[in-house]
Structure 1
Amino acid sequence: MANSRQAHLTKAKKGKNDEFYTQWSDIEKEVNAYIEYNPDVFRNKIILLPADDPFESNFFKFFATKFNEFGIKKLIATSFAPSPIVNTQLSLLPELIPDIDFEVSGDKQIKGAYKIELNEVIDEDGTGTVNIEDVIKRLQKEKDLIDSGQNSQILSYLKGDNNPDGISRFSAGDFRSEEVTGLRNQADMIITNPPFSLFREFLSWINPLEKQFLIIGNMNAITYKEVFPLIKENKIWLGTGMGRWISGFIVPETYELYGTEARIENGNRIIATNNALWMTNIDHGKRHQPLSLMTMEDNIKFSKHKNVKGHEYSTYDNFDAIEVPYTDAIPSDFSGIMGVPISFLDKFNPEQFEILGLDNPTDEFIGHGPLLNGKTKYRRIFIKKVNK
């Protein structure tokens, strides 16, 4: 079944059918880990949610709801063209679409792109509490302003880029457009689930050495030449979970529901994957938790893995390092170089281990795949214990 899920994701990537929308529960679970580590992590920060339709996105819904609790300075969300699952997550359409600025089709889908900029969230309905309903009421007021011919400081239309010859370069709401790039420049943090097919370009656009970010990607992104060097240099890292830690994505009606865990919940079509992950440069507690490991001798005696228990650790045919097929089989008393699966990064503690390189032909560290008994092992990261 894992291969089936991977095949569908690969097909989606090639077809750019990567409209995967994140569930509230997964966002909350991940973000709470950063809050627990640093309660002020979002305080006085400008947060940009690009490619997150503010009328649909659970990212917008979550951070708008938590605006005051987190002490957010400003929340910006932008849309990109009409979404295939419009009005399925956050029921703000079509009532809140300004009549004069947005073209709405017969099926109530917006034909333009827009942005929302929140500088405050207050108790609009007088209930004594602040929640998403207050955001909805505020947006309704802003929509009324626009419909009466006045300007709104919160809700506005995105125009996109145009070359001098009038040919559009990047359409309205595209993260690469001058408009959204300008919003990026003023943001402190960028948080979203970007299209898988544009992950490399999106990460580069973020400029992770200058901007804090929290995004979702594919596990294979770890090995990208644009990504791995940053992980190796401890400039970016994984979030608090990967694989099944992300319980599933909401997909449009046109997307096939596949796999045993595909389901429909509250009217949303959800697919579950086992190869998605959070990637970030925002610190969290999990990455500072040391792995509890057995010695090499105890692994050989007591490991739960059949290909470890009762077997000596093997050295690669073409490289002076031992093969460690599972993260929990890393020997605590081995000081040499070890080849571990890329899933090791989910448990990586930079105070405990140093990342040396990747088994990539273009990587300067090794320059080839590691061979074991004449066979090339699947992707390996080379690590070494930190000497203390």
Structure 2
Amino acid sequence: MARLATNKLLQKAKKSKSDEFYTQLCDIESELQYYKPHFEGKVVYCNCDDPKVSNFFKYFVNNFSELKLKKILTSCYREKNDSLFSSEELENGFFSEYTAAMNKGDGDFHPNIIHFEGDGDFRSQESIELLKKSDIVVTNPPFSLFREYVQQLVKYDKKFLIIGNVNAITYKEIFKLIKENKAWLGINLGRGVSGFIVPEHYELYGSEARIDDSGNRIVSPNNCLWLTNLDTYIRHKDIVLTRKYYGNESDYPKYDNYDAINVNKTKDIPLDYSGAMGVPITFLHKFNPDQFEIIKFRKGNDEKDLSINGKCPYFRILIKNKRIQS
């Protein structure tokens, strides 16, 4: 029931233009610790962040000297409300810059706000001009616009570390990047992302929803990931394989529509099989491109879902082992 409830919340967020899920500082710290060498001398852009409340901005300001950053850019979207019946004051989107000259080491990181002419949408030309000036993009983009968001990063050839829903792996645009070794999963996945801060108008769905000591309303979907093109040593660690195919063939049935065996769990990948294998999408969290080759996603030779005796297991990724053992 908890999973159904949290999925309901994410669907609600997907329908919202603002996708108001704010990342906790603890989750940012947990992931960013693995990428520190990438940031020296770089301009970081958090282009879905209000610097007054963003924990991404807070993290980079607090670690400005340690990371040896050049500059932090943040920008924030503000939805226009021009209804005749609205009493809200119109406000444009805005951005801020933070440089070494502003870093006094006293914990004071109140930003200087500069307003855009427009709403500050990451797709706006004003935001794109800031993107062009940046080196690495780090943020929690709107889940409902995730495909479009990543496509923009690829178009402008940017390094990135962003949060998305695990289902993003199944998007053909995202999987293509992973297959071509242009993007990969970060370190933390699922419960490794402990939860998001949500505003007052969101219901606290799920058994792990809570209010923390600071009064923040936290929802833990447990189905999110980090997507990046920043390399780490962990990505190149081999998956330890202990199972064998030969002598255990009945444990690895073949698909009806592709010459490959089915493997239900990553830990059950056989070390002695040289042919194609279908593995769960969670395999990507441990995927080492030096150890395995990704062939394709989900479909057999007939371009229908992979099936065994007419039944389709949940989405499979077809892979080959580059390091066969006897």
Offset of residue 6 of structure 1: 1.9
- Correspondence for 1:156: 114
Give the match's secondary structure for 2:39.
Answer: coil
Q: 1:342 to 1:198 in 2, by over 3 A?
A: same
Q: Does 1:277 align with 2:222?
A: no
- Correspondence for 1:373: 309
Q: 1:371 to 1:259 in 2, by over 3 A?
A: same
Offset of residue 179 of structure 1: 0.7
Offset of residue 359 of structure 1: 1.0
Bigger shift: 180-189 or 317-326? 317-326
Q: 1:374 to 1:187 in 2, by over 3 A?
A: same
- Residue type at the aligned position of 1:373: N
Q: Does 1:74 align with 2:71?
A: yes
- Residue type at the aligned position of 1:118: Y
Offset of residue 213 of structure 1: 0.4
After superposition, residues 124-163 of structure 1 pair within 5 angstroms as 124=104, 130-133=105-108, 135-136=109-110, 139=111, 154-160=112-118
Offset of residue 332 of structure 1: 1.2
- Correspondence for 1:8: 9
- Correspondence for 2:147: 200
After superposition, residues 222-261 of structure 1 pair within 5 angstroms as 222-261=169-208
Partners of 1:70 and 1:197 lie apart in 2 by 31
Q: Does 1:317 align with 2:256?
A: yes
Contact 1:357–1:366 (CA under 8 A) maintained in structure 2:
no
Contact 1:68–1:121 (CA under 8 A) maintained in structure 2:
no
Q: 1:55 to 1:123 in 2, by over 3 A?
A: closer
Q: 1:240 to 1:176 in 2, by over 3 A?
A: same
- Correspondence for 2:319: 383
Give the match's secondary structure for 1:348.
Answer: coil
TM-score (normalizing by structure 2) = 0.90
- Correspondence for 1:33: 34
Offset of residue 117 of structure 1: 0.5
Bigger shift: 246-255 or 13-22? 13-22
Partners of 2:247 and 2:51 lie apart in 1 by 50
Offset of residue 373 of structure 1: 2.0
Partners of 1:158 and 1:207 lie apart in 2 by 24
| Rg comparison, structure with higher value | 1
Q: Does 1:118 align with 2:127?
A: no
Partners of 1:294 and 1:254 lie apart in 2 by 49
Contact 1:208–1:236 (CA under 8 A) maintained in structure 2:
no
Partners of 2:50 and 2:18 lie apart in 1 by 17
Contact 1:51–1:80 (CA under 8 A) maintained in structure 2:
yes
1:37-80 deviation line (CA, Å, top 9, x unaligned): xxx31011011110100011000010011111100001101111
Contact 1:341–1:381 (CA under 8 A) maintained in structure 2:
yes
Q: 1:121 to 1:269 in 2, by over 3 A?
A: farther
Q: 1:62 to 1:374 in 2, by over 3 A?
A: same
After superposition, residues 334-349 of structure 1 pair within 5 angstroms as 334-349=273-288
- Residue type at the aligned position of 1:370: L
Give the match's secondary structure for 1:371.
Answer: coil
RMSD of aligned C-alpha atoms?
A: 2.5
Give the match's secondary structure for 1:33.
Answer: coil
1:263-314 deviation line (CA, Å, top 9, x unaligned): 00111000001211000000012211101111326996xxxxxxxxx95211
- Correspondence for 1:179: 126
Give the match's secondary structure for 1:229.
Answer: helix
- Correspondence for 1:305: none
Contact 2:245–2:272 (CA under 8 A) maintained in structure 1:
no
After superposition, residues 47-66 of structure 1 pair within 5 angstroms as 47-66=44-63
Give the match's secondary structure for 1:376.
Answer: coil
TM-score (normalizing by structure 1) = 0.76
Partners of 2:60 and 2:313 lie apart in 1 by 42
Percent of residue pairs identical:
46
Q: 1:299 to 1:41 in 2, by over 3 A?
A: farther
Partners of 1:110 and 1:279 lie apart in 2 by 34
Partners of 2:102 and 2:15 lie apart in 1 by 44
Partners of 1:351 and 1:16 lie apart in 2 by 40
Structure 1 runs not aligned, ≥5 long = 83-104, 125-129, 140-153, 161-171, 301-309
Contact 1:299–1:331 (CA under 8 A) maintained in structure 2:
no
Partners of 1:110 and 1:329 lie apart in 2 by 57
Bigger shift: 373-382 or 204-213? 204-213
- Residue type at the aligned position of 2:98: L
- Correspondence for 1:91: none
Partners of 2:151 and 2:50 lie apart in 1 by 21
- Residue type at the aligned position of 2:304: H
Partners of 1:224 and 1:247 lie apart in 2 by 24
Structure 2 runs not aligned, ≥5 long = 80-85
Offset of residue 12 of structure 1: 2.2
Offset of residue 123 of structure 1: 6.1
